[in-house]
Structure formats: structure tokens, C-alpha cells
A and B are shown apart, each in its own frame.
Chain A
Amino acid sequence: MKTKILLFPLLLLIIISTLIWMIIPSWKIIQTKKLDLVERQKQLEEAQTKNKLVDNLISVYDQKTSERNLIEEYIPTKVNDEEIINNLIYYANIQTGDKEIKISDISVAKPVANKGQTGKPPIPQIPADVDMENPIFPGGIVGRKMEIGTPLNTPVSFDADVSFVGKYQGLKEFFNKLKIFKRANSVSSFSILRSGTGSSEALTVKAKLSFNFLDKYNPVEVASSLLESSLDMSVAEKIKVNTNEVMKVIVDSKGRENPFLP
């Protein structure tokens, strides 16, 4: 009889301790894992959809070779500073007569990675502190996506300084020709100074031209979340239009043709 009476609290203790130390924590873990599974299933569906999307995009990629080449020329994969120098000299040399300019200095600065970019970005992976058996991540985040792949590269900018002496029409023509370059560039700063006195038309020009390049994206694993749904190559048309415009540009006949002349 005494044994039977003792069994009651003992069983009660077993029930309560099982509830507190086993069932409740186990329930929480199960909820976490369920969320995690749902999130991963979504990610899997996404990856499967993206694989199908890539198949479609590849056909567009293969068809539009000329547009592709134009874009790859506009935003190149390398600095190609020799190409910059060669082209600037060439554009200057083909200007003759009143439009002649004499280049005195060209320098291409060493490219500096953009702010926040330090070489190739690291490959994000599942943090080492995450226990896959019990995926309650640090900070209490549950159902977190598995981060896979290397982010896209960011463009690296660099400057090219050019100094020359020439007449007003010559300098305008020279900067117009930069558009023929077919490579993204802009004038980030410049100074134009009258070299002579009186009616002298000679001008000393110093300009800082900004160029960029973009490393080829070639990681071990792509960041599929960054894959866009289309391959819109309309920018190639814009590049073409800009290039064609160069041939049409003439000095505005209204106002003053040369603001540096008295």
C-alpha cells in the first residue's frame, strides 16, 4: 500500500519533468525546423524557377551578339589604359587646321576600388556557429535562408588626365570625339584658360576624364537571387545613338561661337 502511495508523486514528477525538459523544448525546436523547412522549400522552388529562366535568357544572349559586344566594349573588363592613351592621341592627331590641338600631357591614374569594395567579395555561406541539427540561429532568427553565391562585381572607376593647347573649336571637337570612344567616360573636372592676350585664340585645357571597368563575373557559385528576369539590351541602342550624334554636332550659331574672344 505504501509503495502504491509513493508511486503517485513519482509518476507525477516524471510527467511534469518530461513536459518541462523534453516536450516543451522539443516543440519549440520542431516549430523552428518547420519554419526553416518552409523557407528552404521556397528557396528550392526559386532555384528551380531560375534554372528555367536561365535557359530562356541564354537564347536571348546567344542571339544578340552585336548588342552584347557593344555593351561589353562600353563597360570593359579591363583598364586598357593603353587603349585610352592611344585613342586620345589619335583623336587629337586627326584634328587639323583651326581645329588642331597639341597634347602636352596624358596620364592614367591607378584604378581604386569603389568605397566598400575590397577586391573580390567573400562567398557567403552558412555560418559555422549554426547547428544544423538544431537550427536556432544566433540572435534568435529562425527559418533563415541559406545564403549561396558571390555578389555581383561593382565597377571600378579611374581618372585619366589630359592637357593640351588649342583653339576653342578644336577643344569642342576633341571632347565631342570622346563619344566615338564607345567606352563609358565622363569629364569629371576641367579648366580652360586663355593662353595669350588680346585676340589670341590659344587656350590651355586641362581635363580629368573618368573611366571605369567591371571585372568579369566568374564565381564558383552565382548569387541566384541577383539574377534578373530579363536581358534588356536597349542600352546598346543608346550607345549607338550617342556615337552617331558625334558626327552631327556643330558649334551653336546663336549667341557666341567662341566665348574666349573679345
Chain B
Amino acid sequence: MVNIDLKTNSERPASEASTDFSLMFMIFLTVVTLGIWGGMYFWEGSLTKNVQATDDQIKMETTKLSRQQTKDVMDLQNRIRVANEFGDGKNMLLDNLAEIEKLLVADAYVNSINYSSGVTTITLMAKDFVTLAKQISSFKQSGGIFTNVSTGPAHAGSDGKVETTISLKVN
């Protein structure tokens, strides 16, 4: 009895070759993928080392920068900044008085002056109501450091003199 092989000879090697090729390709892909990961791992490590090395250099430079002379220079720069912010040494008291001296009309005088938080309050004595009106007008038209003028109630005393309070906003 002769054995009869029903399989064709050409089918089997072609299929196996294809499978082997695909398998080899997959293995290659896996190796490449793992290779990429490995490369990135070392890249990351190298970057970390560089960051740390740069940090060390920054610290070294900063330590050098923190010498006493730098502190002295920075301290002086800070003092200059504060001195500049402080302005040119204006004295609100003298400025107020100088302005009042200029604006006071005849037959009027001051009983008291108070200055606080940018507002000057004057207790004013005037010969009569007309003088008072002139005085208020003088303050309003000054165009100097007084920007806003508001007048309180005015009372005439037994001697005929008129007393009132004037608030002046100081610019």
C-alpha cells in the first residue's frame, strides 16, 4: 500500500515563512521600543545631572555674590530708593502757612489751624460777613495747594466779628 500525501508541498513553507517574518518584525519592534525607553531613561538621567550641576554653579555664583561688599552696595541702593520715595523734603506745615499767608485778606485772621490726613481746618475770624465771603473766595481762587474749600456755619459775636471753620483739602 503506497502512502498518499494529500498536502501540497508548496503551502506549508510559505505560511511558516510569513509567520516567521512577522514574528521577527514584532521582535524587532519590541527591541526598538525598549531601546527607545532605555535611551530616554539615560537622557533623563543626564538632564537631571545637568540640572543639579547648574544648581551647584548657581549656588557657587550666588555665594560669591553674597560677599559683604555686595550687601553694602545693595543696602546703599535700598537707602537711595527710600530717600527718593521720601520726596524732596517738603514740609506740609510750612507749605500750609505760606499759602495761608498769601491768601489771607485784610480784616481777617486765623485763630487756629489743624492739619491731618491731607485736610487743613482753619478757624477764621473776619470783621464781618462781607470779609468772610472775600476770604472764602480768596481760598477758592488760589489755585495753589488748596484744592477743595468747604465752609462751616458762621457766627457773628457780640463784637460783630464773624467766626467760622474752613476746611481745605491739601493737594
Interface residues of chain A, those whose CB is within 8 Å of chain B, are 1, 4-5, 7-8, 11-12, 14-15, 18-19, 22-23, 26-27, 29-30, 33-34, 36-37, 40-41, 43-44, 47-48, 50-51, 54, 57-58, 61, 68, 71-72, 74-75, 132-133, 135, 146, 148-149, 152-153, 155, 172, 175-176, 178-179, 184, 186-194, 207, 212, 214, 216-222, 224, 226-228, 231-233, 235, 238-239, 242, 251-252, 254-257, 259-262
Complex CA gap A28/B57 in Å reads: 26
User: Can you spell out 5 A-B residue pairs with CB atoms less than 8 angstroms apart?
Assistant: A71-B80, A155-B82, A175-B94, A190-B115, A232-B80
Q: How many A-B residue pairs have CB under 8 A?
A: 235
Q: Which residues of B from 107 to 159 have beta carbons under 8 Å from A? A: 109-117, 125
**B8 at the A/B interface (Cβ < 8 Å)?**
no
Interface residues of chain B, those whose CB is within 8 Å of chain A, are 16, 19-20, 22-23, 26-27, 29-30, 33-34, 36-37, 40-41, 43-44, 47-48, 50-52, 54-55, 57-59, 61-67, 69-80, 82-84, 86-94, 97-98, 100-104, 109-117, 125
Q: Are B73 and A54 in contact (CB-based, < 8 A)? A: yes
Given A34-B47, A207-B93: A192 and B74 within 8 A (CB)? Answer: no
Nearest residue (CB) in B for A191 is B114
Q: Are A217 and B112 in contact (CB-based, < 8 A)? A: no
Given A186-B90, A190-B115: A58 and B73 within 8 A (CB)? Answer: yes
Given A51-B65, A149-B66: A187 and B93 within 8 A (CB)? Answer: yes
Q: Are A255 and B103 in contact (CB-based, < 8 A)? A: yes
Q: Are A11 and B76 in contact (CB-based, < 8 A)? A: no
